[in-house]
């Protein structure tokens, strides 16, 4: 049974895309104000402001460390300012930090912010950064390793050992795009995409074409977290954290916990299962699957682990349209990094915030009717960790 | 025909790259990895074996990834491997590698146990097959550094 100690009561988000003139500070300031207004609380009730660091490093990190954000939004009673970052798993580690602060009783309201701007860096700076980010400087970078190549190797191996086709891999991008087409803040909201478009786009790192690689962008979002007890009093539709679970595997992909990359579910599925159990729910109870991808292969590996499809068959599931709008398994309903836009540590934040919107009935055209429960996940780009969370707008079996 | 020299010249003109942007990133050996690089320079592939639990690690770090102890010995590898999975980089790589495009990155499984990230050379990427047999070759990328790479065993 779920203890449901914490809840989210409001979110804020700005459009994702290429906005070089919009600083990280401006993003953070705007999303924070939107989240406070959405939650309907007094800013002076916020006792902690948490921020995820910009992964390429910038003046904004310093500003955040030294407290620019609580000052800017006028959170006069803010007591705690902290930055939490752990790569692609940042949205989870920052939420655990927020939960710890709430659990300590220091405050009843925590504001969590994510803001990133990649367009301030030249293309070659981004390429060099993402070649080196996550890659081992002594053992991988000298071989010309890149982030795309890591995802490409994982894709090649997964396809070879599961029989997943390149069309099925491409269909993940198309499903994401269909959701993004319903999202006003998505980078590719106006552009449709077909499997053919994906396969005909420029080859980047075989078997990945350009359209299978995410696009770095500028964006951000925020949310207000409180205790479940408080949430029931101040919010007409809080979203409860019903169950969470995490696991860590390795530093280098060569030391992956499960040697077979077609069997990543051996690593992920027990974690997802634990999150379900802690929520007192199962895969059949989920209305939405807010899956973190960044590359199609990551989406497929996570889908393999959620208890909705036979592992290795996720490509066929996506290809069938069942994860797209109108399908039985709505997945990554904001379009995810591939079509919403990749904001560094923000990929998990944007997927999480979209999950909250869905459960609050605020997802606009992308709204999944009657959604009550969902499972959300995130993890690092080098496949080193995995975090699953079950969220709900009601607490199941509260009397058990 | 585009030659390597004019790729570099084009990038310098169009993107304002400097010559040092084309410098290859070199491994900077750590005290505990130096025996690996010393051996590679002598065209030997060696692996770090934990003397406490017997686990063979690659890359060789200060610690054993199985038992976290530090005591180790070095063993010479067979120089054989199989291709587990691969990628072919064709676009969007750091400048230092643009003149090498296309090039193959691979996860290579050694019979001694470790999996290694390396390049596959001496092979048309179209001929790569998961599970194919490989043998080690040595690429002297600088006077100090030799990178072990892998090449398909010709049948």
How much is the CA Rg of chain B, to the nearest whole Å?
18
B137 at the A interface (CB within 8 A)?
A: no
In this predicted model, what pLDDT tens digit does every residue of A30-81 receive, in sequence order? 999 999 999 999 999 999 999 998 888 778 999 999 999 999 999 999 999 9
B127 at the A interface (CB within 8 A)?
A: no
Which DSSP helix (H) or strand (E) runs through A49? strand A48-51
Alpha carbon of A263: minimum distance to chain B alpha carbons (Å) = 14
A390: preceding bond cis by omega (within 30 degrees):
no
Mutation to test the A interface, candidates B92, B100, B123, most A Cβ within 10 Å? B92
For residue B4, pLDDT beyond 80: no
Q: Using the beta-carbon criterion (under 8 Å), do B147 and A140 form an inter-chain contact?
A: no
Alpha carbon of A148: minimum distance to chain B alpha carbons (Å) = 8
Give contacts of A205 with chain B, Cβ < 8 Å. Answer: 87-92
Biggest alpha carbon distance in chain B? 57
Residues 24-53 of B with CB under 8 A from A: 24-30, 33
Q: Which pLDDT belongs to residue B5?
A: 60
Give contacts of B106 with chain A, Cβ < 8 Å. Answer: 153
A385 at the B interface (CB within 8 A)?
A: no
Angle between helices A265-279 and A296-303 (to 10 degrees): 60
B10 at the A interface (CB within 8 A)?
A: no
Can you read off the two tokens belonging to residue A182? Answer: 């319903």
Q: Using the beta-carbon criterion (under 8 Å), do A152 and B114 form an inter-chain contact?
A: no
Question: pTM score > 0.90 for this model?
Answer: yes
CA distance A199 to A206: 11
CA distance A352 to A64: 22
Q: Which pLDDT belongs to residue B3?
A: 57
Count Cα atoms within 13 angstroms, Cβ side, for B85.
Answer: 23
Are the C-beta atoms of residues A235 and A45 closer than 8 Å to each other?
A: no
Are the C-beta atoms of residues A207 and A156 closer than 8 Å to each other?
A: yes
CB pairs under 8 A between A and B: 125
Mutation to test the B interface, candidates A122, A153, A258, most B Cβ within 10 Å? A153
In the DSSP assignment, the letter for residue A5 is -
Task: State how far the alpha carbon of A133 is from the alpha carbons of A57, A125, B136, in Å.
Answer: 12, 12, 27
**Strand A80-83 vs strand A48-51: parallel, antiparallel, or unpaired?**
parallel
Domains with residue ranges and CATH for chain A: 6-120+216-234 (3.40.47.10)
Positions in chain A whose pLDDT score sits under 70: 1-2, 398-400
Q: Which pLDDT belongs to residue B2?
A: 53
Which DSSP helix (H) or strand (E) runs through A346? helix A346-360
For residue B20, pLDDT beyond 50: yes
Give contacts of B28 with chain A, Cβ < 8 Å. Answer: 137-138
Which DSSP helix (H) or strand (E) runs through A240? strand A239-248
| Listed residue (A221, A206, A205, A192) closest to A33, CA to CA | A221
Residues 155-174 of A with CB under 8 A from B: 155-157, 160-161
Q: Using the beta-carbon criterion (under 8 Å), do A124 and B95 form an inter-chain contact?
A: yes
Give contacts of B138 with chain A, Cβ < 8 Å. Answer: none
Give contacts of B115 with chain A, Cβ < 8 Å. Answer: 254-255, 259
| Listed residue (B27, B17, B30) closest to B94, CA to CA | B17
Shortest CB distance from B59 goes to which of A127, A152, A252?
A252
Confidence class for position B1, pLDDT limits 50, 70, 90: very low
Q: In what order do the strands lie in the sheet with A6-17?
A: A80-83, A48-51, A109-116, A218-227, A6-17, A239-248, A385-392, A373-378, A288-290
Query: Whats the size of chain A, residue-wise?
Result: 400
For chain A, how far is it from start to end, CA to CA, in angstroms? Answer: 7
Cα nearest neighbour of A135 on chain B: B117
Alpha carbon of B154: minimum distance to chain A alpha carbons (Å) = 22
Q: Which pLDDT belongs to residue B86?
A: 98
Shortest CB distance from A205 goes to which of B24, B87, B117?
B87
Are the C-beta atoms of residues A126 and A216 closer than 8 Å to each other?
A: yes
Give contacts of B87 with chain A, Cβ < 8 Å. Answer: 148-150, 152-153, 155-156, 205-208
**Strand A6-17 vs strand B146-152: parallel, antiparallel, or unpaired?**
unpaired
Are the C-beta atoms of residues A107 and A230 closer than 8 Å to each other?
A: no
Which DSSP helix (H) or strand (E) runs through A373? strand A373-378
Angle between helices A147-162 and A123-132 (to 10 degrees): 60
Q: Using the beta-carbon criterion (under 8 Å), do A131 and B17 form an inter-chain contact?
A: no
For residue B117, pLDDT beyond 90: yes
Mutation to test the A interface, candidates B10, B16, B25, most A Cβ within 10 Å? B25
Q: Which pLDDT belongs to residue A188?
A: 97
């Amino acid at each position: 049974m779920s203890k449901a100690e914490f809840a989210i009561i409001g979110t804020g988000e700005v459009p994702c895309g290429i906005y070089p003139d919009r600083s990280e500070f401006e993003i953070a300031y705007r999303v924070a104000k939107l989240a406070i207004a959405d939650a309907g609380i007094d800013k002076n009730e916020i006792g902690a402001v948490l921020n995820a660091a910009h992964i390429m490093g910038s003046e904004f990190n310093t500003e955040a460390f030294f407290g620019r954000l609580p000052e800017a939004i006028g959170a006069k009673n803010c007591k705690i300012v902290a930055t939490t970052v752990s790569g692609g798993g940042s949205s989870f580690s920052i939420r655990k930090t927020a939960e710890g602060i709430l659990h300590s009783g220091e405050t009843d309201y925590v504001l969590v912010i994510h803001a990133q701007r990649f367009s301030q860096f030249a293309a070659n700076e981004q390429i060099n950064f993402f070649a080196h980010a996550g890659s081992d400087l002594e053992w991988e970078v000298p071989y010309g390793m890149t982030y795309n190549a890591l995802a490409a190797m994982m894709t090649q191996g997964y396809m070879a050992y599961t029989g997943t086709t390149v069309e099925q891999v491409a269909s993940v991008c198309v499903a994401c795009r269909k959701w993004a087409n319903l999202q006003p803040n998505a980078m590719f909201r106006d552009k449709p995409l077909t499997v053919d478009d994906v396969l005909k786009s420029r080859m980047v790192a075989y078997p990945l074409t350009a359209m299978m690689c995410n696009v770095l962008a500028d964006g951000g979002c925020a949310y207000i977290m409180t205790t479940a007890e408080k949430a029931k009093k101040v919010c007409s539709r809080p979203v409860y954290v019903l169950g969470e679970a995490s696991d860590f595997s390795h530093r280098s992909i060569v030391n992956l916990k499960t040697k077979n990359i077609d069997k990543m579910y051996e690593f992920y599925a027990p974690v997802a299962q634990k999150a379900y159990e802690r929520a007192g729910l199962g895969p059949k109870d989920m209305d939405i699957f807010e899956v973190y991808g960044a590359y199609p292969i990551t989406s497929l590996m996570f889908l393999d682990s959620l208890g909705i499809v036979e592992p290795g068959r996720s490509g066929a599931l996506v290809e069938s349209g069942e994860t797209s709008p109108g399908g039985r398994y709505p997945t990554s309903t904001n379009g995810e990094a591939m079509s919403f836009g990749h904001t560094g540590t923000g990929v998990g934040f944007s997927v999480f915030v979209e999950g909250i919107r869905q459960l609050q009935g605020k997802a606009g055209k992308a709204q999944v009717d009657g959604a009550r429960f969902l499972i959300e996940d995130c993890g690092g780009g080098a496949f080193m960790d995995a975090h699953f969370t079950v969220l709900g707008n009601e607490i199941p079996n509260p009397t058990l | 025909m585009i030659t390597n020299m004019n790729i570099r010249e084009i990038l310098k003109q169009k993107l304002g790259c400097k010559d040092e942007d084309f410098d290859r990133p070199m491994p900077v050996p750590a005290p505990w990895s130096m025996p690996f690089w010393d051996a590679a320079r002598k065209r030997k592939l060696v692996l770090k074996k934990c003397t406490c639990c017997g686990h063979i690690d690659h890359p060789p770090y200060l610690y054993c990834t199985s038992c976290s102890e530090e005591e180790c010995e070095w063993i010479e590898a067979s120089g054989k491997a199989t291709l587990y999975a691969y990628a072919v980089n064709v676009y969007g790589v750091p400048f230092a590698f643009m003149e090498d495009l296309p090039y193959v990155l691979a996860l290579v499984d050694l019979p001694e146990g470790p999996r290694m990230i390396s390049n596959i050379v001496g092979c048309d990427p179209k001929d790569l097959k998961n599970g194919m047999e490989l043998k080690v070759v040595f690429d002297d990328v600088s006077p100090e550094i030799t990178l072990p790479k892998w090449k398909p065993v010709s049948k």
